[in-house]
Structure 1
Amino acid sequence: MIFSREYVGYLARQTVKQLIDAKMIRTEKLTVVQERVHGGLQEELSLEDRINEEVRVILEAYQDEMRRTGAGYAEMFKKVKTELARKYKAVL
């Protein structure tokens, strides 16, 4: 993940604060809302890490074929990652 866990927590708190200040949400349980927003942010931000790991596994399975055909790892990584992002409907 490109952000630290502490920064994601800060973003969650600030997001909830701004939503409350803008009167877009009301809550009696501020910490519960902050924890849920934090969890959602962390899930979304770690999606790219999970996709990258899946790409590595896929390319490892095809490494012999890639050597035979002369395909570059970086180029194939980019192509497979783009396809997986499309499959998961992720915006990276």
Structure 2
Amino acid sequence: MIFSKEYVGYLARHTVKHLIDAKMIRTDKAKVVEERVHNGLLEELQLEDRINEEVRVILEAYQDDMRKTGASYPEMFKKVKQELARKYKAVL
């Protein structure tokens, strides 16, 4: 993940505070909203990590075939990652 979990927590708190101050949302339970925003941000930010791990598993399964055909690992990683991002409808 490109951000630390502490920074994601800061972003969540700041976002919720901004939304409340701008009267875009109303809540009596700001901490609950912060927690939900924090969890949502973490999930989205960890999506690329999960996709990268899935790509590694897929390419490991085809390692011998790639070696036989002379396929470039970085090139194949990029192609498989693009396909998985499309499959999960992720913007990376």
Same amino acid, percent of matched pairs: 84
What residue in structure 1 maps to residue 88 of structure 2?
Answer: 88
**C-alpha distance in structure 1 between counterparts of 2:73 and 2:46, whole Å:** 23
What residue in structure 1 maps to residue 21 of structure 2?
Answer: 21
Shift in Å, 1:21:
1.1
What residue in structure 2 maps to residue 10 of structure 1?
Answer: 10
Q: Kindly provide the amino acid, as one letter, of the partner of residue 34 in structure 1.
A: E
Q: CA RMSD in A?
A: 0.4
TM-score normalised to the size of structure 2? 0.99
**C-alpha distance in structure 2 between counterparts of 1:62 and 1:46, whole Å:** 25
**C-alpha distance in structure 2 between counterparts of 1:23 and 1:31, whole Å:** 17
TM-score normalised to the size of structure 1? 0.99
What residue in structure 2 maps to residue 79 of structure 1?
Answer: 79
User: Size of the alignment, in residue pairs?
Assistant: 92
**Gaps (5+ residues) in structure 2?**
none
Q: Deviations over 1:44-69 (max 9, x none)?
A: 00000000000000000000000000
What residue in structure 1 maps to residue 56 of structure 2?
Answer: 56
Q: What is the DSSP-based 3-state SS (H/G/I as helix, E as strand, rest coil) of the residue aligned with 2:24?
A: coil
